[in-house]
Structure 1
């Protein structure tokens, strides 16, 4: 069995359809279908039950999935050991992170690392928090940087801290000169927020309820990149992590306003890796740099 066929097989098992696996792998659906058919012919059994809403592993498919994970981990380990013979001159670092960190912080760490080790390649994905952890657990990414309401028990955690949310506005906003604002100040201006199924909204809504305040966003968007132009063109505000857009804040593109509230606005942040996995040398080196770029861990 070829490792390519096993990778395609596992992608279909995770995504539930060949089309979704194709989008995930950036591989033509016909190529994935062909590899699945070859596996089924080689094993003389069906690996999936084809259902109206997708593909589900058969009993044989579940056995193969367990085997495939072991085979691919062993193959990746061999590749890692071979690459390490060449030091930090070659290698790939796969990073999954929430969008807030993909805009500024992580690319800045990558740029600094690349300046010292130009032979190392990077793959960066911006995903919802839960999907970041899922990618790490499944071994589809090397490092995950994500928000979490509870400490992760499914990954190895290289860094965990609690960071306050702050308000973000354009430099010309009426509140831009304030050193501290309250939740009622937010309610007095148009607010743009991430959807309700995010850690940010969960914590903000609880804090508003504690003060008897209702904040109904003028704009709700599932990507921060859609919110930032709204701030530039209005008297709007948004909430985000205190370290998410340090570069743009430092260049004067936005103002950061700490928020006073009766209930904590802090969120957990974690840097995650796959449990019991020996990280490639390039990944470990980048992980060290990434953690060093984050705020010191507070008690």
Structure 2
């Protein structure tokens, strides 16, 4: 039923599969099994898209209602477990961890000491899914956002830099070009990260392909690879600030328009109502990142 629901809201099996990160054949097979068991068609094709039949809509609506009730129940149970002070949940990109904890959560906890704060580090796609499905109060994401289902507040967060060991031959440069980067051993994040999408687009604008020597799914892993001298990772200087401060890494700005104009976003579901605590955290995020972007 969850697959059927995703097909309904995304308008097709392939688009739903891309969002869920699974093979389209898995969705097709499961829905076909349901159709045989119910002896009712659940999908019908209209032109190039697939829509739910009346039976499919009934099942998808029931699934959505059940999930909302379950999420609300889980929230109530969390309140009981965590000192009855309520909960606030936030998904963030790995490059925001230090700023979130030191500049925001430390202040939030003074105002709401009884509120339980749940922090999840995630990639762009995971954050979008969590916000759209009501699984988190808010998210802080880096990269281009085009989804109309989320409310967002955008701010600049650049420039994107080439982050490397101080012993790297390029470490004394004031800026580095994309063609120069293309000749180096590079460290990539998965393509589900907004930052990596920015990097891929920068390389495409030069007719090049971002071809890494390493790929990982954590900013901390990428930084450790750079500290070890194994390659260049790409992120903002603020994301690598702790290792830059200790002299383990240096950040060289990338000479590209996208690198200089890259954006981050505070995200929330347009239909989700904030508690006073969640609203306070949202305002702290807005004010902090707005001040840092000036």
- Residue 68 of structure 1 pairs with residue 100 of structure 2: no
Which whole-Å CA distance do the structure 2 matches of 1:201 and 1:223 have between them?
12
Match of 1:19 in 2: none
Residue 105 of structure 1 pairs with residue 85 of structure 2: no
Structure 1 residue 124 displacement after superposition: 1.1
In structure 2, relative to structure 1, the CA distance for the partners of 1:120 and 1:275 (3 Å cut) is same
Counterpart check, 1:264 vs 2:258: yes
Post-superposition offset of 1:295: 4.3
| Local SS of the residue matching 1:277 | coil
- State the number of aligned residues: 245
Q: Closer, same or farther in 2 for the Cα pair 1:214/1:66, shift >3 Å?
A: closer
Q: Does 1:187 align with 2:182?
A: yes
- Alignment equivalent of 1:161, drawn from 142, 147, 155: 155
Give the unaligned 5+ runs of structure 1: 1-8, 15-47, 84-88
1:98 Cα deviation from its structure 2 partner: 2.2
CA offset digits 1:54-103 (Å, max 9, x no partner): xx9975643423433665688799x6xx99xxxxx92311011222223x
C-alpha deviation, 1:275, in angstroms: 0.9
Q: Distance in 2 between matches of 1:117 and 1:247?
A: 27
Which residue in the other structure is 1:147 paired with? 142
Q: What SS does structure 1 have at the residue aligned with 2:60?
A: helix
**In structure 2, what is the Cα distance between the partners aligned to 1:247 and 1:285?**
27
Q: In 2, distance between residues paired with 1:246 and 1:112?
A: 20
Question: Which residue, 176, 195, 198 being the options, matches 1:200?
Answer: 195
Report Cα offsets for 1:120-162 as digits up to 9, x if no partner. Answer: 21111122212212211211100111123234411122x2024
Matches of 1:13 and 1:284, distance apart in 2: 30
Are the counterparts in 2 of residues 137 and 155 from structure 1 also a CA contact under 8 Å? yes
Alignment TM-score, normalising by the size of structure 1: 0.66
Counterpart Cα distance in 2 of 1:213 and 1:166: 18
Q: Secondary structure at the match of 2:190?
A: coil
1:218-257 matches, within 5 Å, as: 218-234=213-229, 236-257=231-252
Contact 2:123 2:192 in 1 (8 A): no
Note closer, same or farther for the CA distance 1:115–1:246 as it changes in structure 2 (3 Å cut). Answer: farther
Does 2:123 align with 1:125? no
Runs of 4+ in 1 over 4 A off after TM superposition: 9-14, 56-60, 69-77, 212-215, 295-299
Tell me: CA distance 1:70–1:199, structure 2 relative to 1, closer, same or farther (3 Å). closer
1:118 Cα deviation (Å)?
2.8
| 1:173 lines up with 2:168 in the alignment | yes
Distance in structure 1 (CA, Å) of the matches to 2:73 and 2:169: 58
The alignment's TM-score, normalised by the length of structure 2, stands at 0.67
Q: How far off its partner does 1:285 sit? A: 1.0
Contact 1:173 1:235 in 2 (8 A): no
Are the equivalent residues in 1 in contact too, given 2:143–2:197 (CA < 8 A)? no
